[in-house]
């Protein structure tokens, strides 16, 4: 004679996946994707590029205001390879996102090495002028420094 308990278990095993099992698998996949996708991180977002350009512009404006208020030359030193910059009397070194590409165009005598250079501001507010390009792929922002007025502008 047939066992009724055995019939129930064989029917249950044929039905497929329960909703709870499906939800658990989806949750595990979401957690794994949450960890793995950022590791392969693609290009830098436009907001990160804009943020890096604004950080540089703020540092340049700080250097200009220090030069005018303290009546002495002030420098913003940019390390292109290390992706960081520092203003003369500011103890803090500012780091930029590691995935951005930086280019510095400045006066030849303000280049310390191939990867380090500076933008100089004078006591009258003027500067040696230059441009810092913050880029990722074909997107870029140019931070321009006017040599006569020392005005800092971010260009798309």
Residues 95 and 123 in one domain: yes
Q: How far apart are CA 139 and CA 46, in angstroms?
A: 8
Q: Which residues contact 105 (CB under 8 A, 6 or more apart)?
A: 130, 131, 132, 133
pLDDT of the chain, 156 residues: tens digit per residue: 556 565 555 555 556 788 888 899 999 999 988 877 766 656 778 899 999 999 999 999 999 999 999 999 999 999 999 999 999 888 999 999 988 999 999 999 999 999 999 999 999 999 999 999 999 988 999 999 999 999 999 998
Q: Which residue has 């913050």 as its token pair?
A: 134
pTM (two decimals): 0.73
Q: How far apart are CA 36 and CA 3, in angstroms?
A: 49
Residues 75 and 109 in one domain: yes
Residues 21 and 81 in one domain: no
Q: How far apart are CA 156 and CA 117, in angstroms?
A: 23
Domain that holds residue 34: 4-39
Residues 83 and 10 in one domain: no
Tokens representing 143?
A: 């931070």
Instruction: Tell me the backbone φ, ψ of residue 78, rounded to 5 degrees.
Output: -115, 125
pLDDT score for 86: 96
Residues 18 and 50 in one domain: no
Residues 19 and 82 in one domain: no
Residues 25 and 96 in one domain: no
Q: Which residue has 């070194």 as its token pair?
A: 93
């Amino acid at each position: 004679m047939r066992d009724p308990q055995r019939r129930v278990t064989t029917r249950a095993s044929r039905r497929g996946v329960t909703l709870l099992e499906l939800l658990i698998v989806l949750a595990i996949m979401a957690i794994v994707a949450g960890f793995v996708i950022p590791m392969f991180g693609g290009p830098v977002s436009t907001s990160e590029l804009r943020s890096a350009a604004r950080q540089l512009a703020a540092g340049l404006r700080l250097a200009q205001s220090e030069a005018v208020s303290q009546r002495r030359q002030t420098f913003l030193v940019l390390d292109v390879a290390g992706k960081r910059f520092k203003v003369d009397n500011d103890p803090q070194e500012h780091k930029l996102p590691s995935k951005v590409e930086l280019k510095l165009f400045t006066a030849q005598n303000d280049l310390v090495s191939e990867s380090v250079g500076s933008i100089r501001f004078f006591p009258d507010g003027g500067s040696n002028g230059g441009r810092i390009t913050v880029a990722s792929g074909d997107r870029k922002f140019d931070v321009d420094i006017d040599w006569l007025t020392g005005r800092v502008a971010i260009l798309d």
